[in-house]
Amino acid sequence: MDYQELWKAALGEIELAVPRPSFITWFKETSVSGISEGTITIAVPNGFAKEWLQSKYNKFIIRALRNVTEDKVREITYVIGKYPQGSVENKPKERSPKTRPLVSPNDEMQLKDLQVNPETGLNPRYTFENFIVGSFNELANGAARAVVQNLGLAYNPLFIFGGVGLGKTHLIQAIGNEVIKNHGSKVRCVTSEKYMGEIVEALSNQTINQLKERYRKVDLLIMDDIQFIARTEKMQEEFFHTFNVLYQQNKQIIISSDRPPSAIPTLESRLRSRFEGGCLIDIGEPDFETRVTILKAKANEKGIFLPEDVILHTAAVIKNNIRELEGALARLTLSARATSLPPTLEETKKILEQVTQAPKKFTSPKKVIRVVSDFYEIAEKELINPSRRKEIVKPRQIAMYILREELKCSYPFIGEKLGKKDHTTAIHACKKIDREMKTNADLQNEIKLIKEKIYSV
């Protein structure tokens, strides 16, 4: 296989693992430019792409290359270099049937993306009208309403955080849509990942001033999933200046994140203090009654009837977040449409068993170690080798705790795997984290996020 064929095959795999907009942003104009002794060199168009691919997508790239080469790939190096004309296309069109899943998650994503207004970045389907409020999100909802009423004056910046699928994107987009509807203001909503892509593109087209201009003339800037911003200095720098320009003119800024500013590693302190100077609000998990309300409202919206026992059972077993409730509802709807009858409780149990049990089997000690080191932005080998650095202690204890809790690994195995410690160290770590979890809500949240990542593909 020559380099181009090889890279094309690898891209086919990567495309399945990475969200569509990110794939297009980060993998266009990349190529394989050299292979020697287990090291594959990838040429990328600029320094940002290099930093981003290295920090965020290295593992996908290595995995894909391992799958498509028979050789052992140990390492990837990234170089800034020219993309050979007329070689690999931006989007590989053919995939081997072997790697093509029946329903690609990307297909669904593209459909949703179609609705996004390219000017504002807002999706009209996210509104306050279809946002359900319960005790878990009423503070966030209240702050959001106040922001609409007093744009730039009430809570600035408004920083909303919480785990995946709990409605952060929905709520902040609803603010954007409402503000346009009521005041006709200029709104721009972007994910930090997309913002990064825009900066890269602007730099290579020499349109950075236009980009700055575009962001600095808005009345409301919404930055979704800001936790990724900390990965590159350039983006923090750019955002910091834009933030200040807007803030000084009393323009509104809204930010979402999967964790509070204090838990984003490598977030510059000047940005952190800006965020903490505004209004920080978290969205928790919906309780049972709220999950019932959500299911009923969403079934209603879809125009399907579900018996009470089916709703109660679904709300009882799907606990984590609203996205999963929607997923369960989609399965039940499918079954109802196929048979033209609402599912019975028995059928529901069967259907939901597939949903709730499927992800568990995909995790392994290796993955736990990878996710924990990713989360705390440290190298995997620091967790594995007997390093005593202070920053490593907590992540290592957390990794130990998760190996015990989730995978039921033995203490001697855990100690050996993480830092060549003996079993008493592992026992001590697990007890310590278990104790701390009881009183420390931030720690609970971090571990929850890590678990979500461990079980996601």
Interface ranges with ligand ADP (CB under 6 A): 130-132, 137, 164-170, 322-323, 326
Closest contact distance (angstroms) between CB of 416 and ligand ADP is 36
Closest contact distance (angstroms) between CB of 76 and ligand ADP is 30
Q: Give the integer Cα–Cα distance in Å for 360 and 340.
A: 32
Cβ atoms of 407 and 397 closer than 8 Å: no
Closest contact distance (angstroms) between CB of 322 and ligand ADP is 4
Pick between residue 164 and residue 352 the one whose CB is nearest to ligand ADP: 164
What is the DSSP code (8-state) at residue 56?
I
Pick between residue 405 and residue 452 the one whose CB is nearest to ligand ADP: 452
Pick between residue 170 and residue 396 the one whose CB is nearest to ligand ADP: 170
CA dihedral 356, 361, 366, 372 (to 10 degrees): 0
Q: Which residue has the tokens 């990878």?
A: 370
- Beta partners for residue 36, in sequence order: 39
Q: Give the integer Cα–Cα distance in Å for 402 and 393.
A: 14
Instruction: Point out which span in 165-173, 287-295, 405-413, 444-452 binds Mg ion (CB under 5 A).
Output: 165-173
Q: Give the integer Cα–Cα distance in Å for 348 and 403.
A: 32
Pick between residue 25 and residue 257 the one whose CB is nearest to Mg ion: 257
The CB-side HSE value for 140 (13 A sphere, CA atoms) comes to 30
Task: Tell whether residue 425 is a contact of Mg ion (CB under 5 A).
Answer: no
Token pair in block for residue 443: 């720690």
Instruction: Name the closest residue to ligand ADP (Cβ).
Output: 167
Closest contact distance (angstroms) between CB of 136 and ligand ADP is 8
> Among positive and negative, which fits the CA dihedral 343, 349, 350, 354?
positive
CA dihedral 308, 313, 316, 319 (to 10 degrees): -100
Instruction: Point out which span in 161-169, 267-275, 323-331, 430-438 binds Mg ion (CB under 5 A).
Output: 161-169
Closest contact distance (angstroms) between CB of 170 and ligand ADP is 3
- Beta partners for residue 80, in sequence order: 44
Task: Tell whether residue 232 is a contact of Mg ion (CB under 5 A).
Answer: no
Task: Tell whether residue 169 is a contact of Mg ion (CB under 5 A).
Answer: yes
Q: Largest Cα–Cα distance of the chain, in whole Å?
A: 64
Closest contact distance (angstroms) between CB of 137 and ligand ADP is 6
132 binds, among ligand ADP, Mg ion, none (CB under 5 to 8 A by kind): ligand ADP
Closest contact distance (angstroms) between CB of 173 and ligand ADP is 8
166 binds, among ligand ADP, Mg ion, none (CB under 5 to 8 A by kind): ligand ADP
Pick between residue 171 and residue 218 the one whose CB is nearest to ligand ADP: 171
Task: Tell whether residue 363 is a contact of Mg ion (CB under 5 A).
Answer: no
343 binds, among Mg ion, ligand ADP, none (CB under 5 to 8 A by kind): none
Burial 107-137 (b: 16+ CB within 10 A, else e): eeeeeeeeebeeebbbbeebebeebbbbebb
Residue 210 neighbours by CB under 8 Å, 6+ apart: 202
Instruction: Point out which span in 30-38, 135-143, 167-175, 367-375 binds Mg ion (CB under 5 A).
Output: 167-175
Task: Tell whether residue 290 is a contact of Mg ion (CB under 5 A).
Answer: no
Q: Which residue has the tokens 């990567």?
A: 14
Cβ atoms of 136 and 288 closer than 8 Å: no
Closest contact distance (angstroms) between CB of 280 and ligand ADP is 15
Q: Which amino acid is at 216?
A: R
Instruction: Point out which span in 20-28, 119-127, 164-172, 259-267 binds Mg ion (CB under 5 A).
Output: 164-172
Pick between residue 11 and residue 283 the one whose CB is nearest to Mg ion: 283
Task: Tell whether residue 137 is a contact of Mg ion (CB under 5 A).
Answer: no
Closest contact distance (angstroms) between CB of 191 and Mg ion is 8
Cβ atoms of 168 and 224 closer than 8 Å: yes
Pick between residue 166 and residue 450 the one whose CB is nearest to ligand ADP: 166
Cβ atoms of 23 and 15 closer than 8 Å: yes
Cβ atoms of 26 and 52 closer than 8 Å: yes
Pick between residue 33 and residue 227 the one whose CB is nearest to ligand ADP: 227
Pick between residue 168 and residue 451 the one whose CB is nearest to Mg ion: 168
Residue 220 phi, psi dihedral angles, 5° rounding: -140, 120
Cβ atoms of 39 and 74 closer than 8 Å: yes
Q: How many residues bind Mg ion (CB under 5 A)?
A: 2
266 binds, among ligand ADP, Mg ion, none (CB under 5 to 8 A by kind): none
> Cβ-count burial of 406 within 10 angstroms (0-12 exposed, 13-18 middle, 19+ buried)?
middle
Pick between residue 51 and residue 224 the one whose CB is nearest to ligand ADP: 224
Please report, as ranges, the residues that interact with Mg ion according to CB under 5 A. 168-169
